[in-house]
């Protein structure tokens, strides 16, 4: 049976899960700014508890974003180090998709209800995605992932084929913006984070489909690459002027 280790530090939450012979166990904690300190001990703890070594694994999965720039880099660095050392393939999993899967699993949401998952992207923007439950794949995306100002989301939803399936269920801290709260919703769950449990579950399905990458090729998904580049360029330009 497949054995997959899953890690996530894309938000204030830090979690590690192990899918082993169809059973998933998880270590989860909301520990802002302690990911570097806690992630590897959590990995050691969950592997030791199951009597499993890295060499016994089939793959390592991780929350590939979108999310905190620092958190995504921390997670990918650890994943690549572990995967290189044990010669294991890697499975990137969308943070937003994992949150949707977790919401269906933990919040008793009807499977026919679409979920709009939103994370605060700072700079008065949110990362968001629209998802539907799927028996075959766990969740399916009804639209591309986006980063944008909250007041632009409603217009974007109207252009999405599935956008007529309102009211939506809102998931994640990105819903704290007034423009998001003005959307037609049944309920909003603000205090909700991605879980490595759901990353492991989605990764198990992806592994069965052969959807793995080499550790060297694994990359985070920021959604904001161009904005970040421009910001770094402005910093370099200011430094050159002095």
Please give the pLDDT value at position 167.
82
Please give the pLDDT value at position 232.
43
SS (H, E, C) 76-133: HHHHHHHHHHHCCCEEEECHHHHHHHHHHHHCCCCCCCCEEEEEEEECCEEEEEEEEE
Residue 183, helix vs strand vs coil:
coil
84 and 100 inside one domain: no
Residue 226 pLDDT more than 60?
no
Closest to 148 in 3D by CA, of 115, 179, 180, 125 = 125
104 and 86 inside one domain: no
Average pLDDT over residues 217-227: 84
Does residue 239 lie within any of the structural domains? no
Whole-angstrom Cα distance, residue 78 to residue 57?
Answer: 15
Count how many domains the chain has.
2
Please give the pLDDT value at position 236.
45
**pTM summary value:** 0.91
Residue 233 pLDDT more than 50?
no
Q: What are the tens digits of pLDDT across the range 77-105?
A: 999 999 999 999 999 999 999 999 999 99
165 and 125 inside one domain: yes
153 and 200 inside one domain: no
The domain spanning residue 116 has which CATH number? 3.30.420.40
Please give the pLDDT value at position 237.
52
**Residue ranges making up the domain that contains 81:** 3-94+194-223
Does residue 230 lie within any of the structural domains? no
Does residue 233 lie within any of the structural domains? no
Whole-angstrom Cα distance, residue 61 to residue 88?
Answer: 10
Please give the pLDDT value at position 224.
84
Q: What are the tens digits of pLDDT across the range 96-145?
A: 999 999 999 999 899 888 999 999 999 999 999 999 999 999 999 999 99
User: What torsion do the CA atoms of 192, 196, 200, 203 make, to the nearest 10 degrees?
Assistant: 80
> What are the distances in angstroms from CA 43 to CA 4, 83, 127, 180, 223?
12, 13, 28, 36, 28
């Amino acid at each position: 049976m497949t054995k997959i280790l899953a890690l996530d530090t894309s938000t204030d939450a830090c979690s590690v899960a192990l899918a082993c012979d169809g059973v998933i166990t998880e270590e989860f904690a909301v520990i802002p700014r302690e990911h570097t300190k806690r992630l590897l001990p959590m990995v050691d703890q969950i592997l030791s508890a199951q009597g499993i070594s890295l060499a016994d694994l089939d793959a390592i999965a991780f929350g590939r974003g979108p999310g905190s720039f620092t958190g995504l880099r921390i997670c990918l660095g650890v994943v690549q180090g572990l995967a290189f050392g044990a010669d294991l393939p890697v499975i990137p999993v969308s943070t937003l998709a994992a949150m949707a899967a977790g919401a269906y699993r933990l919040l008793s949401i009807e499977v026919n209800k679409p979920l709009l998952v939103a994370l605060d992207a700072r700079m008065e923007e949110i990362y968001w995605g629209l998802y539907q439950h799927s028996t075959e794949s766990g969740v399916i995306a009804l639209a591309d992932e986006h980063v944008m100002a909250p007041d632009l989301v409603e217009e974007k939803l109207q252009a999405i084929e599935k956008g007529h399936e309102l009211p939506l269920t809102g998931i994640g801290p990105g819903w704290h913006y007034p423009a998001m709260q003005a959307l037609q919703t049944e309920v909003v769950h603000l205090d909700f984070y991605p879980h490595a449990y759901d990353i492991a579950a989605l990764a198990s399905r992806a592994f069965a489909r052969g959807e793995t990458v080499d550790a060297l090729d694994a990359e985070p998904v920021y959604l904001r690459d161009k904005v970040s580049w421009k910001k770094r360029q402005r910093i370099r330009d200011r430094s050159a002027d002095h």
